[in-house]
Amino acid sequence: MKHQRIVVTHYGGPDELQVVEEECPEPRPDEVRVKVLAAGVSLPDLMAREGIHPETPRVPFTPGWDLVGVVDRVGDGTYGIEPGQTVAAMPINGAYAEFVCLPQSELVPVPPGLDAAEAVSLVLNYITAYQMLHRSAKVKPGQRVLIHGAAGGVGTALLQLGRLAELEMYGTCSSRGATVVSDLGGVPIDYQRQDFVKEVQRLTGEGVDVVFDSIGGSHIWRSRKALRPGGRVVAYGLTGSLKAGRLASGRSGGRHRFRAIAIFGLYIAGGWLLPGRKRVVPYSIQTLKRVKPALFRQDLIALLDLLQQQKIKPLIAQRFPLAEAKAAHELLGKGGVTGKFVLVCQRDR
């Protein structure tokens, strides 16, 4: 049986995403073949395509951090899992495909009846938000937080989970995203027209307890200025290395996994050395998953339960057929996206 997947053969722009048709993979011992229903499209995918994300594989590779699908075939040595079960996983790469084989240990059961696009939003975006709130920042009711990119995939997850945690929330966004931020319980700050540091100081008097910064680089210093004494920046991204979805430096075509992260590390170290008791704390979903896989599984199960209870509602910006991954990357690169882009696999067979 043939299936389609997306392949990056050279590091670079969206044109490097190619659709290939080939034989379906067969599960090895202890693996499960999953028919993908939905795969998330995220900024880390764009960074891997450009060759600059720390998790960038060597070419050729198939992008895709997160997926929800149905068990299609099981390999020898698997147990307690049968064809037809809906599961979620975060393979980091490989999700842009109609079928993918994964170790059984990577799969988390998804309750029946959930929308696959909404469920896949939990795997990368909501776990990132949940763990930053409760494991990195250890927030308490009534604390003030500033969320950068508040109308995006992780941003809207932080707002929804922050509201459940009874936080006072502020969020930077474009004017287009202001209504969404307000509707989710945050105070919007237009980063294009307002200085977010001055605006936070004006609104709070002394600053916020936590800033969630996905931009990285020198932006971490700006975020630090929005803190009250004793506050912390949770730094979790390097999206400042992109401009309109491409390398801001213009130097594309290579695999430079550690260039941006080295600079990132310098800013984190500086945050601890400078006076003012304002710390910079790094967060990496893949690192925490590798070190403490049980926490990842536990947190995803908790989030799936919240989704089933309708206490959270992921915002789906747009659904694309798998073959239109290039269009999804182009639009995500332009910015201003509210919620998450999702690739859906629904070809008739």
Q: Which domains does the chain have, with CATH numbers?
A: 2-120+292-344 (3.90.180.10), 122-243+252-287 (3.40.50.720)
Mean pLDDT estimate for the chain: 92
Q: Tens digit of pLDDT for each residue in 110-149?
A: 999 999 999 999 999 999 999 999 999 999 999 999 999 9
Q: What is the pLDDT of residues 43-79, one digit of tens each?
A: 999 999 999 888 999 999 999 999 999 999 999 999 9
Q: What are phi and psi of 16, to 5 degrees?
A: -80, -5
Q: d(Cα 259, Cα 54) in Å, to the nearest integer?
A: 9
- Asked which of 23-27, 78-82, 107-111, 321-325 is least confident by mean pLDDT, the reply is 78-82
Omega cis (within 30) before 60: yes
How far is CA 258 from each of CA 247, 254, 263, rounded to the nearest angstrom?
14, 12, 9
pLDDT at 318: 97
pLDDT at 216 over 90: no
Do residues 331 and 142 touch, judged by C-beta distance below 8 A? no
Kindly indicate the confidence band of residue 154, based on its pLDDT and cuts at 50, 70 and 90: very high
pLDDT of residue 336: 87
The per-residue b/e assignment along 22-54, b for 16 or more CB within 10 angstroms, e otherwise, is eebbebeeebbbbbbbbbbbbbbbbbbbbbbbb
Assign 69 to helix, strand or coil: strand
pLDDT higher at 76 or 257: 76
Q: How far apart are CA 245 and CA 330, in angstroms?
A: 7
| CA 61/CA 7 separation, integer angstroms | 5
Q: Which token pair is 337?
A: 């996206």
Q: What is the pLDDT of residues 168-213, one digit of tens each?
A: 999 999 999 999 999 999 999 999 999 999 999 999 999 999 999 9
pLDDT at residue 89, rounded to an integer:
98
DSSP 153: H
> Mean pLDDT lowest for which of 39-43, 46-50, 103-107, 237-241?
237-241
Say whether pLDDT at 300 is over 60.
yes
| Strand duo 2-8 + 17-23: pairing | antiparallel
pLDDT surpasses 80 at 260: no
Rounded to 10 degrees, what is the CA torsion of 59, 64, 66, 70?
-100
Indicate whether 277 pLDDT > 90: no
305 close to 287: Cβ distance less than 8 angstroms: no
